[in-house]
Amino acid sequence: MMLCDIGNSNADFYQDGKVWTLSHKEFEHFTPKEKVYYICVNDPIQKRLKTKELFIDLEPYFEFDTIYQGMGIDRIAACYTIKDGMIVDAGSAITIDIMSAGMHLGGFILPGLSAYEKGYASISERLKMPLNPSIALDALPQKTSDALSYGVIKSIITLLEITCKDKRIFFTGGDGKFFSKFFSNAIFDRTLIFRGMLKVIQEAHLD
């Protein structure tokens, strides 16, 4: 069984415990030979997949307890196997969700690291530089490149800290491993979204 999670930047695949990624451009030329169970937050790609026979959209099968309006299906899938905890998907955007006793209590969004870079670049040529994620957070920066990296990384980490309180934190997404290192109560699981997709396939007896 092949799973696919189509995000804002890439399409991530899962099969038999293996994970790989295609760019949107590569994904356009991908022709499956077997059923692909997928979720998709990209509207143009979603429209195209709806006409393809071997692609099965899992979105309608998720039964998720929340009052949050318009929650992305990738966030729902990431939360789907977590009963209690804070779920952080650090990709193009960083989404943060709180689950308590199997209920979704709400969540919020931060820009992903490269979106921060684009935000800085939009202000001035002087702020157009790559972020340095390994910036020291225990001393005040003494130059612009450090000042930008410190602002981004420390503001994200600090907000995650005060939000999670004593909950366990489940990280996923391209920068999930990086952020997980700042927390003692953290678990990094690259396959969190796929685990949600596998659960819904089982619940709905799709396979």
Closest CA to 57 of 48, 68, 66: 48
Binding residues among 168-207 for a second copy as defined by CB under 8 A: none
Closest CA to 180 of 193, 190, 191, 166: 190
Nearest residue (CB) to a second copy, 4 versus 153: 153
Phi first, then psi: give them for residue 165, nearest 5 degrees. 50, -120
Quick check: 162 binds a second copy (CB under 8 A)? yes
State yes or no: 134 annotated in a binding site. Answer: no
Binders of a second copy: how many residues, by CB under 8 A? 52
State yes or no: 138 annotated in a binding site. Answer: no
Stretch that binds a second copy, among 38-46, 165-173, 183-191, 195-203 (CB under 8 A): 38-46
Angle between helices 113-123 and 144-164 (to 10 degrees): 140
Task: Give dist(CA 131, CA 117) in Å, integer.
Answer: 7
For residue 70, the SS3 value is coil
For residue 177, the SS3 value is helix
Binding residues among 116-145 for a second copy as defined by CB under 8 A: 116, 118-120, 122-127, 139-144
Is residue 74 among the annotated active site residues? Answer: yes
Instruction: Please give the structure tokens belonging to residue 203.
Output: 């619940």
Nearest residue (CB) to a second copy, 158 versus 202: 158
Q: Which residues are annotated as a binding site for substrate?
A: 68, 72-75, 144
Residues found near a second copy in the complex (CB under 8 A): 8, 41-43, 67-70, 72, 92-96, 98, 105-112, 115-116, 118-120, 122-127, 139-144, 146-148, 150-152, 154-156, 158-159, 162
